Amino acid sequence: MPKKQPKSRSELVFLPLGGVGEIGMNLYLYGVGPPRRRRWLMVDLGVTFGGPIEPGVDLILPDIRFIEEERDNLAGIVLTHAHEDHFGAVMMLWPRLRAPLYATPFTAALLRAKLIEEGREGDIPIEEVPCRSRLEIGPFGVEMVDMAHSIPETNALLIQTEAGTVFHSSDWKLDATPVVGAATDESRIREIGKQGIDALICDSTNATHEGLSASEGDVAKTLADIVDNAPRRVAITTFASNVARLRSAMEAATSADRHIVIVGRAMKRVIQVAEETGHLPSGYDILTEDDYGHLPRESVLALCTGSQGEGRAALSRIAADAHPRVTFARGDMVLFSSRTIPGNEKAVGRVQNNLVDREIDVITDADALIHVSGHPRRGELEQLYKWTKPKALVPMHGEARHLEAQVELAKSHGIANVVSGRNGSLIRLCPGPAEVIDDAPAGRLYLDGKVLVYAGEGPVEERRRLSFGGAVAVSIVLNAKGDLMADPQVTATGIPLANGDGILFEDLMLNAALGVLDGLPRPRRRDSALVAEAVRRAVRGEVNAHWGKKPPCSVMVTVI
């Protein structure tokens, strides 16, 4: 470890740029050193997904302008695991940072597979490190600690610096039978607690739920029972990255003497990587979509992408009877072996309703134990508090209600120094009591097609306005003296044909434009900008008077 600076000048700080105040888009920074000469460690670089309020946007990424400006002081990036909300932004944002990137074998392999799919093989150098590694990354000593989660090789991080020590939980749960991957390393965490930590940065996703999470092994038993007793086809949809769930489904199919058919590119990629890294045995008889139509209904188990109702995913297309190779029929069964992410309820409901309308049986976790969360409930959080005995706690990975639930829980268990921040909160962890000391720029980037744009700027905001009020375009042609050469041309999109009295909106807008032009003195008509603004206001006001909405209105004035 580098030569220590005087402790009075060095401090350890925590700065989330994503993942605190929301679920998804995780990006956490740890800084050490004097305030104006900090070195930084980045933990995770993830995405979240666009919804109705971001029309045309598939992915949302963290705004990294703060650390871009500090990239000469960025010692490295550590990926805790391979969920999209923790590593999905690497391909797009790493080129802006170019810091050393560390990942365990499964995460590294999945990232390489994504790069190959995008035709970018070798573009990002990945430092592959073994599980349970101990690394020296600039002034940070980093130890990876096994945690059970819904994807293999999930790691908590013990981060040691000259100013203090922090335990970053990442995503985790307690599960003695996780099916795939290691269980949470209780013995090592207890040792860490005995050695002492200054702060625990902890997952809050299920802090509102009492008790303990059920085991992945229990889900495997339920799936096996359902598949064994199903009279016709069975399809299971789950997160493509949940290798344990995929293995449980494939074991259930094998036990019931069913053929396994994989439907969806993302699931195929994960299964291939899991086999290559030893997390799935390679002996399963896996068939493709091309084989599906030739198999007897009672001997099929299909594993499908689309558990979140994604429009282009396999299950959405199957439910709409729009998939080119795969179809379901009356009496078939679809198991939603997943949690619906907040915001996706309508999309998932639409898929489920499409299936039910076609007399296909739909089973969710409300009907049977076919899904368990990968995050800790209150009972598990209490255990981690006892094991680590932190001097301070900062909740992360959760919306406001989840964060505050953990604040309350931690205080009730004797952790007096609990700090609740949000994205952009700069929190000094030590020396002294943990507290918010400053804030930093934090926001969002939208992936708009192939282009990254900042939230609040440009075309996404314009499309949002269009979705509420349509749009109007007016074209006016004047001569050099200001005379109107022809009637204005009005084009309206997303606006009713007529008002409540049956008067056409096109006529209303045309009359409004003509009225403004008639009222303008001829010398003022020579000012194209003045004419355009006057017509814009009049047309927009007329639409609002008859419709109650103010659509964006653009006016083009041509002088000939």
Q: Identify the pLDDT of residue 459.
A: 84
**pLDDT tens-digit map of 248-306:** 999 999 999 999 999 999 999 999 999 999 999 988 989 999 999 999 999 999 999 99
Domains of the chain: 11-211+373-454 (3.60.15.10), 216-363 (3.40.50.10710), 470-559 (3.10.20.580)
pLDDT at 3 over 60: no
Is 1:141 a contact under the CB 8 Å cutoff? yes
- Tokens 């302008």 belong to 65
pLDDT at 8 over 90: no
pLDDT at 219 over 80: yes
Is 84:47 a contact under the CB 8 Å cutoff? yes
**pLDDT tens-digit map of 308-354:** 999 889 999 999 999 999 999 999 999 999 999 878 899 999 999 99
From CA 22, how far away is CA 400, in angstroms rounded? 7
- Starting at the edge strand that comes first in sequence, how are the strands of the sheet with 199-203 ordered? 134-137, 140-147, 154-160, 165-168, 199-203, 392-396, 417-418
For residues 275 and 1, the model is more confident at 275
From CA 458, how far away is CA 140, in angstroms rounded? 39
Q: Identify the pLDDT of residue 52.
A: 76
Q: Mean pLDDT across the chain, nearest whole number?
A: 95
Of the pLDDT bands very low, low, confident and very high (cuts 50, 70, 90), residue 50 is confident
**pLDDT tens-digit map of 489-540:** 999 999 999 999 999 999 999 999 999 999 999 889 889 999 999 999 999 9
Q: Identify the pLDDT of residue 464.
A: 84
Q: Identify the pLDDT of residue 6.
A: 44
Q: Identify the pLDDT of residue 168.
A: 98
Q: Identify the pLDDT of residue 32.
A: 98
pLDDT at 26 over 80: yes
pLDDT at 164 over 90: yes
pLDDT at 371 over 50: yes
Residue 144 token pair: 């990876």
Q: For the residues 153-175, what does the mean pLDDT come to?
A: 98
pTM metric for this prediction: 0.90
pLDDT at 4 over 70: no
